[in-house]
Structure 1
Amino acid sequence: MAYEPAQEIVDAVGGPDNIASLTHCATRLRFQLKDGDKADKNTAEKIPGVLGAVPQSGDRFQVVIGGGVQNVYNEIMALPVMAGVGTGGGAAASGGGGAGESDADIKARERAKGPRGTNAWLDTLFEFLSDSFRPILGALLGASLFITFMALAATLGWIPAWNSPGVELPPSWAFVNLMWKCVFIFLPLMVAYNASQKIGADPWVGFAIMAVVMLPGFTDLGKTQDAVQTTFLGSDITTVQVFGMPLTIFDYSSQVFPPLLMAAVLGLVYKGLRKIIPENIQLIFVPFLAMLIMIPLTAFLIGPIGVYAGAALANLLSSINNFSPFIFAIVIPLAYPFMVPLGLHWPINAIMLLNIQTLGYDFIQGPMGAWNFACFGATAGVLVLAWREKDKQMRQTATGALAAGLLGGISEPSLYGIHLRYKRIYPRMLVGCLTGGLIIGIGSLILGLPNGITTQAFVFTSLLTIPAFNPIGLYAIAVLGAFVVAMVLVMISGYKNPADAEPALAGATTATEDARIAGGAADEAASVSNVAGGEELLPGAGAGAAGAAGGAAAGAAAGSATALATKGEGEATDVGALIQVASPLDGTAVGLDTVPDPVFAGGVMGPGVAVEPTGDTVYAPGAGTVVAAQPTGHAFGLQLDNGVEVLIHVGIDTVNLKGEGFDVKVKNGDRVETGTPLVTFDRAVIEKAGYPLITPVIVLNGDAFDTVDPVKLGPVSHGEPLLNIQKKA
């Protein structure tokens, strides 16, 4: 994606002056705006590469990008107009129905089912929690794989029980053990930094405040002669008198609730100090006074409250699990499919970490694995069907989502890219969740496991982390059962909604919509709906290709499907007949793989050929109807009488010229014959702008035919045969 779409996104949210901060997650740009009413959802969704837009309460606005969100974020932040805009959330600045829904429609629909999105304070709370953890998920994932390796080594007998009290590991293995401990021991500092930044305070001040209670000298205070051992709420605690007040000594390693509470209060303190301290001396005195207030407050009050509050929540869930591990094992995997779209799963992550800190193990991640693998199984079912149907776009989408799931334990690409778009998937996935939960619940009863499946580390539930769960055998059977059941049910029933299963041109619409999700084709197909309505495509790499593709599909679905259904008589449309499409240009025919655009070169939009033009006019390659004639003149979609849907894309990225150098001769709905001029172009204008003139000629509905092959490569004149297309026998 070039700078133009980055600028378009900034403009769509109200311009740089309306952006208070920008963050991103794995798939979404997350804007904190000064005035949320200035953001235009419809405009944002028309930008090439944007999968959807989600207005939120509290002047927040999300733009769904997909896997390339980091690149888009970097391009936005590199814009000169973005100088001085904060990255208010932590990750370098971040971020599901039927197939026709945008990601924004999906998210809005799912969000409407829960409390988020309707209560600003609740939305703020969950955004605060999620943005406090999201930037460190990579470090947590890396640490979880080290933990899994240690667990596997202990299972194979290479090392003793590495996490048992008093166990001493050989120096080499002790060093490996430090590779994951570094993340979890200092987790409070990472959370304090992210949470402070999210709340609008200096993140390094928040880091420093939390660091005080993690110093070895702080814990050493509990070893002095003045230290007193007492019992509070059934727990043994150590206190020491400091300035005549009791200071509770805790080991804050791996704690997450104390830094969250500290940051929340720090944000209020910062806001108050900025109001009363003159601006010209704020740099000096705001951090100093904030630390002067917050360090004692955290050590004496906020820290202990955070420890006890977290312990209370953890004990509540532990009590439920202890009361009936069977019920718990079923409820968790069935609840997660609804919690994740609402963003309600973030607080559970904090409780998992706290369980490990206080109990030495966690009992939530095991049942959660049943949900994750049911999710991945449903994606695998879609992938199998996409291979059968030769659906390249969905195949690409499902492959990426499945890889992210099985190797990384990340469910969002599957959830938002596929499952919430197709209503038939979710019920079948829930059966997989139930299957995995039942296996865990029944297995725990048979094996006499009082806490069900447990893990002694915070890990992402993927194939790579299976050895971290105990017992491994039961967990592996449960996640396999969840995966297989969901996959088989999706394969048996199909995943497309009835409206998506319509043949011919309705299928083309689905294909172009799926192309929006596929990473390699995202820039191409984001403007499909624009073309169908006759709107001008927005700038973007190859955006015209997708626009014409969508126009061919949508326009034909609206008006040409009936006409196609009546075709079939005559030599050109007999089953098995050879159809020829003429060249629309004078020039040299070359293979698609020579086109300097990966979407065309990779055949994402369909099979065809390209022409290096020697003339300056594009002609109709056959008799038919113009269903997409862009005012910019760079792309045309035609529905030919012989059933072939053709996209002619004049040059690469020429949409950026916004019509300069193009003289369009036709409009949407015009009837054309072979050789009818479509557009003339000024070669000098295009070449001066630096855009390649090579023109792809694409058969959008190539899957409807047995073969689509060039007649020959080399010199060709307009009107001469360019493509041989064999009808299916």
Structure 2
Amino acid sequence: MESPTKTDAAAQIVANVGGAGNILSLTHCATRLRFELADASKVDQSGLEAVPAVLGAVPQSGDRYQVVIGGAVQTMFTKIMGLPEMASVGKGTSDADVKAAERAKARGKVAWLDAFFEYLSDSFRPLLGVLLGASLIIAFAAILDAFGVIDFRSADKPAGWIFWDTMWRSVFYFLPIMVAYNAAKKLEIDPWVGATVMGAVMTPEFAKLTTAATTVCTKNPLLGTESCVANIFGIPMQLNDYGGQVFVPLIMVALLAVVYKGLKKIFPENIQMVFVPFFSMLIMIPITAFLIGPLGIWMGNGLGGGLAWLNTNAPFVFAILIPLLYPFLVPLGLHWPLNALMLVNIQTLGYDFIQGPMGSWNFACFGATAGVLFLSWRDRDIQMRQTATGALAAGLLGGISEPSLYGIHLRFKRIYPRMLVGCLVGGVTTGVLGGVQTSAFAFTSLFTIPVFRPMWVYGLSITFAFFTAMVLVIISDYRTPEQRAEALAARDQAEADLAQEKAGGKPAATTATTAAAAVGGGTATATLVATEVVVAPVAGKVVPLIEVNDKVFASKALGEGVGIVPVNGRIIAPVSGLVVTAAETGHAFGIKTDDGVETLVHVGIDTVRMAGKGFKVAVVKDQRVQAGDLLVEVDLAEVEKAGFDSTTIVVITNTFALAKVTPRDVREVASGDPVIDVTP
């Protein structure tokens, strides 16, 4: 039986991306749902992020959107595609119409570059599972090697361990065929043709050409390498071992797509199934063997050689550069060429020098997530706790950074500077201690630490990177004061709902707010009034909450309340109590009454971006105030000059813990006039 929770979550995701009618196509990678939408402006991002199964929602260029699910992405994808409303997705519109619509939409400022990196990413993404599996098989052998049980790198190890090697080498040796399959699928041609063309130059028969009578082999004593040239019908062909090579299939499939689609235009549909694959193979296998293969090998060796030169001549710079670049490369998908170079290095040099420094980035990323997890436990933020727990587990156990990046780090921009410090510390440690190498491609997780040499250098580097990022996030928080206030308000609301449920539907025993009001000559004088009343923090025109120009407040997700278009900049406390939040920028204040009612005063829309300019804060956190006390003085002319809406919002953030919260039906108020009634 299907899980109702997952089915509900699937329906919520579809609804929040604009409904099934707004979805042109849906695919997924290792952790994310990837939507092609008709109109990305219809997406409700806050609604998406509120779905418990969603770790994060990330807009892409054009009308593409990614929803981060984590390891359960395949299950969620299946649930979504099984929804009745999704039955027509991709069927109501012809392929030609969809492609035309996609071409008509701007993918970004440099469309061809977007397409290029998407091609790279989609050629590798489906392989993450087997690559991760292979890296764990390597890690197991490396752990035994570290404890002296078996010499992992010995050429004359027992047959059982040789067989063990085949379990992971199969993935890397046949990687070109897998990449060719995915690349062909991405370019919408027969993927088996792409795989077959690549497979032709990896057969035992192709390898035997090195021993043919007409083949000439020369040795390079300086490099210790041998190159062979075969005579094929009088034409010289450079022979290479294509196992583990990834540039060759990427170049080959790009040309194959042109040939394949051209042949489809030539042959009638009733004979395409036979002659299009036939002529594609007849054309592309020789071109790959004679031209593309050697070219791809040369490109890979050239790029790898360039990085090897930098690593040899400026190892300290290299050790710092790699971990500082990766946090910016991964979100854009630009890390795939470097990942490909790692495989080329292992194939040509027998070792790789990129993965070691890269480990500092990964563990700084995971450390920042650990800091977020610590704060979510401290603040009893259940939703973030779930997100951070899953992301940290995926990172430390699997070496996968996407759940951390997309689920947390890209949503909270304060994390990146702190994470970069961790990357820097890890990189400096690697550089000072002489660098790190590995002879295998391995995801940088806890399990793969023994794969790296020297292991103690790698272990120190990632430890320093991890704890530096974690401590910095814990000390300075990953949220702005406003974001933290909103998270705490959401927590209190959830806890109140749970308390109500346990009490059999009765509201939590919370009394109403203390209010005060009496204003004369523009100066508020606090006077205690009924505890069921919240007063206006400023004089002006009252606006219903659903009409304010802020989707979060208008949705009442933060509680019931009102907006006031102010006529002056003197903002007072609407209740008496303890100031639990006082933003340094002066745009937001949270006050908790002695009865436990929580009130948020938010001065203006997006005024946090003014960074405090024009705001003169009169209170500090943990200060007691009386209703009518001055909170902040705002220069409304400065707000208007900066182009922001000055509407001041007051909401009861634990609305759902109370029996009733009712805004008064008033149009104009003086500072201190009653605006909200609260029923305990």
With structure 2 as the length reference, what TM-score do the two structures score?
0.69
Structure-2 residue corresponding to 1:102? none
From 348, 355, 375, the counterpart of 2:338: 348
1:347-366 matches, within 5 Å, as: 347-366=337-356
8 Å CA contact 1:77, 1:83 repeated in 2:
no
1:48-59 matches, within 5 Å, as: 49=51, 51-52=56-57, 54-57=59-62
1:155 aligns with 2:146: yes
Structure-1 residue corresponding to 2:365? 375
Structure-2 residue corresponding to 1:494? 477
Which secondary structure does the structure 2 equivalent of 1:239 belong to?
Answer: strand
8 Å CA contact 1:14, 1:39 repeated in 2:
no
Which secondary structure does the structure 2 equivalent of 1:370 belong to?
Answer: helix
1:115-514 matches, within 5 Å, as: 117-160=108-151, 162-164=152-154, 167-230=155-218, 236-444=226-434, 452-502=435-485, 507-508=488-489
8 Å CA contact 1:402, 1:414 repeated in 2:
yes
Aligned CA distance change for structure 1 residues 547 and 27 (closer, same or farther; 3 Å): farther
Structure-1 residue corresponding to 2:538? none
Write the distance in 2 (CA, Å) between the matches of 1:454 and 1:379: 26
- 1:83-110, CA deviations, whole angstroms, 9 ceiling, x for partnerless residues? 7699x9xxxxxxxxxxxxxxxxxxxxxx
Aligned CA distance change for structure 1 residues 308 and 578 (closer, same or farther; 3 Å): closer
By relative contact order (CA 8 Å, sep 6+), the higher-ranking structure is 1
Aligned CA distance change for structure 1 residues 321 and 556 (closer, same or farther; 3 Å): farther
Write the distance in 2 (CA, Å) between the matches of 1:196 and 1:362: 28
Write the distance in 2 (CA, Å) between the matches of 1:464 and 1:506: 34
Deviation at 1:205, TM superposition (A): 0.8
Structure-2 residue corresponding to 1:630? none
1:575-614 matches, within 5 Å, as: 575=594
Aligned CA distance change for structure 1 residues 256 and 385 (closer, same or farther; 3 Å): same
1:72 aligns with 2:76: yes
From 553, 559, 575, the counterpart of 2:558: 553
8 Å CA contact 1:391, 1:511 repeated in 2:
no
Write the distance in 2 (CA, Å) between the matches of 1:9 and 1:644: 25
Deviation at 1:64, TM superposition (A): 1.6
8 Å CA contact 1:369, 1:461 repeated in 2:
yes
Write the distance in 1 (CA, Å) between the matches of 2:184 and 2:126: 13
Write the distance in 1 (CA, Å) between the matches of 2:302 and 2:354: 16
- 1:245-277, CA deviations, whole angstroms, 9 ceiling, x for partnerless residues? 112221111111111111111111122112222
Aligned CA distance change for structure 1 residues 567 and 290 (closer, same or farther; 3 Å): same
Cα RMSD over matched residues?
3.7
8 Å CA contact 1:506, 1:553 repeated in 2:
no
Write the distance in 1 (CA, Å) between the matches of 2:337 and 2:596: 61
Deviation at 1:236, TM superposition (A): 3.2
8 Å CA contact 1:374, 1:485 repeated in 2:
yes
Deviation at 1:171, TM superposition (A): 2.1
2:461 is matched by which residue type in structure 1?
A: A
2:322 is matched by which residue type in structure 1?
A: I
Runs of 5+ in structure 2 lacking a partner? Answer: 1-5, 96-105, 495-543, 565-570, 579-591, 598-649, 666-678
Aligned CA distance change for structure 1 residues 31 and 361 (closer, same or farther; 3 Å): same
From 28, 31, 34, the counterpart of 2:32: 28
Deviation at 1:127, TM superposition (A): 0.4
- 1:216-244, CA deviations, whole angstroms, 9 ceiling, x for partnerless residues? 11100111211111479976311111121
8 Å CA contact 1:187, 1:255 repeated in 2:
yes
- 1:379-424, CA deviations, whole angstroms, 9 ceiling, x for partnerless residues? 1112112222222222222111111111111112222222233333
Deviation at 1:75, TM superposition (A): 3.3
Deviation at 1:130, TM superposition (A): 0.6
Deviation at 1:484, TM superposition (A): 1.1
Write the distance in 2 (CA, Å) between the matches of 1:128 and 1:640: 48
1:613-632 matches, within 5 Å, as: none
Deviation at 1:300, TM superposition (A): 1.2
Deviation at 1:354, TM superposition (A): 0.5
Write the distance in 2 (CA, Å) between the matches of 1:390 and 1:8: 29
Which secondary structure does the structure 1 equivalent of 2:43 belong to?
Answer: helix
Identical positions, percent: 50
Which secondary structure does the structure 2 equivalent of 1:402 belong to?
Answer: helix
Runs of 5+ in structure 1 lacking a partner? Answer: 89-114, 445-451, 514-530, 536-545, 580-638, 650-665, 672-718, 722-729
Aligned CA distance change for structure 1 residues 54 and 578 (closer, same or farther; 3 Å): closer
8 Å CA contact 2:177, 2:249 repeated in 1:
yes
Write the distance in 2 (CA, Å) between the matches of 1:320 and 1:463: 28
Which secondary structure does the structure 2 equivalent of 1:553 belong to?
Answer: coil
Deviation at 1:548, TM superposition (A): 11
Which secondary structure does the structure 2 equivalent of 1:551 belong to?
Answer: coil
8 Å CA contact 2:345, 2:352 repeated in 1:
yes
8 Å CA contact 1:145, 1:464 repeated in 2:
yes
Write the distance in 2 (CA, Å) between the matches of 1:147 and 1:73: 30
Structure-2 residue corresponding to 1:91? none
2:262 is matched by which residue type in structure 1?
A: G
Deviation at 1:550, TM superposition (A): 6.2
Write the distance in 2 (CA, Å) between the matches of 1:389 and 1:456: 43
